[in-house]
């Protein structure tokens, strides 16, 4: 098959591109390299530098493509609070541009990588896809809007659509923005640099941390499975872990002694988040294989700062 991956040089896009190449497919990547790194990609991926809102470029790249993976996005939640219009332009506008171009060229399927953040605070856990979304940040709103556009344009123009709501992905090579999210790379960096770990709230808030290889398994399955048109499917570990537990595990593996500061008055986001994986199991044959203990070990051991110790 021939694939286009937007955001191909990113943390999730690159291992997906490399996996598809390994499986014998042809892969074209589109990435503006704002946060992506082409060094992550196999030399067999044809990477084109460009913006996901550049329609002429999209039209030319989509020729002969069987399936699109749409990952290009701005992804830092606190940044989205400061610059919501930018998030809207890239995450929503870019999605609409892509869908229009797919309609014009006649591409069969798109797999959109959405986010578990669209659930926000919910009374019951684990989170089923049928929950009413409660997005809290402009980032989460942009991902939910993109889901709606994908499904609506897909339905109107006969494009098969699948939305994967990925929870907190982590693993080697995850880029660390100058904020204290995402939690795992932040804690690892602070521990290895003998820094201070600042916790928002009391650290009791839970998230569903899913290892990168498991996310790639789910994404890879979503382009070939039958009978999944229009589905929205959670991708997580199915387990919830508190921030305090992440810190404890990182400290154990790194043998570091970071100072831990609790910023109890700071908004710590939803109290709990845990993905229900029933649909992913049934429709994608997905079941996560890498435990948190193993995933953290692999992530920390691959960090050049840990290897130097």
Q: How far is the CB of 184 from ligand NAD (least distance, A)?
A: 9
**Nearest alpha carbon to residue 247 among 196, 304, 288:** 196
Minimal distance, residue 265 CB to ligand NAD, in Å: 26
The residues of the shown chain that bind ligand NAD, judged by CB under 6 A, are 6-7, 9-13, 30-36, 51-52, 71-75, 90, 94, 113, 115, 143, 166, 168-169, 175
Q: Are 114 and 260 in contact (CB under 8 A)?
A: no
Looking at beta carbons only, is 79 or 256 nearer to ligand NAD?
A: 79
Please tell me the distance from the alpha carbon of residue 80 to that of residue 57, in angstroms, as a whole number.
26
Q: How far is the CB of 264 from ligand NAD (least distance, A)?
A: 26
Instruction: Name the residue nearer to ligand NAD (CB basis): 196 or 291.
Output: 291
Q: Which is nearer to ligand NAD, 211 or 256 (CB)?
A: 211
Asked about 139 being catalytic, the answer comes back as: yes
Q: Which is nearer to ligand NAD, 200 or 214 (CB)?
A: 214
Strand (E) or helix (H) holding 200:
strand 196-200
Peptide bond just before 107 cis, omega within 30 deg: no
Q: What is the DSSP letter of 22?
A: H
* Smallest gap from residue 100 Cβ to ligand NAD (A): 15
At residue 105, the 3 state secondary structure works out as: helix
Nearest to 88 by CA among 30, 149, 45: 149
Q: Which of 119, 139, 170, 186 is catalytic?
A: 139
Beta strands at 241-242 and 209-211: parallel, antiparallel or unpaired? unpaired
Report whether 207 contacts 273 (CB < 8 A): yes
Active centre residues (catalytic): 139
């Amino acid at each position: 098959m021939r694939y286009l991956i937007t955001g191909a040089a990113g943390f999730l896009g690159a291992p997906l591109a490399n996996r598809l190449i390994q499986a014998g497919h042809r892969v074209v990547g589109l990435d503006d390299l704002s946060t992506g790194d082409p060094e992550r990609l196999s030399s067999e991926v044809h990477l084109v530098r460009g913006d996901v809102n550049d329609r002429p470029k999209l039209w030319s790249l989509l020729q002969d493509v069987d399936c699109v993976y749409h990952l290009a996005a701005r992804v830092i939640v606190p940044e989205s609070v400061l610059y919501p219009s930018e998030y809207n332009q890239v995450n929503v506008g870019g999605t609409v541009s892509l869908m229009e171009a797919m309609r014009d060229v006649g591409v069969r399927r798109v797999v959109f990588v959405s986010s578990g953040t669209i659930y926000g605070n919910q009374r019951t856990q684990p989170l089923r896809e049928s929950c009413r979304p409660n997005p809290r940040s402009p980032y989460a709103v942009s991902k939910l809007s993109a889901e709606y556009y994908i499904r609506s344009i897909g339905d109107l123009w006969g494009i098969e659509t699948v939305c994967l709501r990925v929870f907190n992905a982590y693993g080697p090579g995850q880029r660390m923005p100058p904020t204290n999210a995402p939690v795992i790379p932040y804690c690892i960096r602070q521990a290895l640099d003998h820094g201070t770990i600042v916790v928002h709230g009391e650290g009791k808030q839970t998230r569903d941390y899913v290892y990168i290889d498991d996310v790639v398994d789910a994404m890879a399955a979503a382009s070939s499975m039958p009978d999944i048109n229009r589905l929205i499917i959670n991708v997580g570990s199915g387990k919830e872990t508190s921030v305090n537990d992440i810190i404890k595990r990182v400290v154990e593996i790194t043998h570091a002694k970071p100072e831990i500061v609790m910023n109890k008055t700071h908004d710590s986001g939803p109290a709990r988040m845990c993905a229900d994986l029933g649909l992913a199991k049934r429709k994608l044959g997905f079941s996560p294989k890498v435990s948190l203990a193993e995933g953290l070990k692999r992530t920390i051991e691959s960090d050049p700062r840990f290897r130097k110790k």
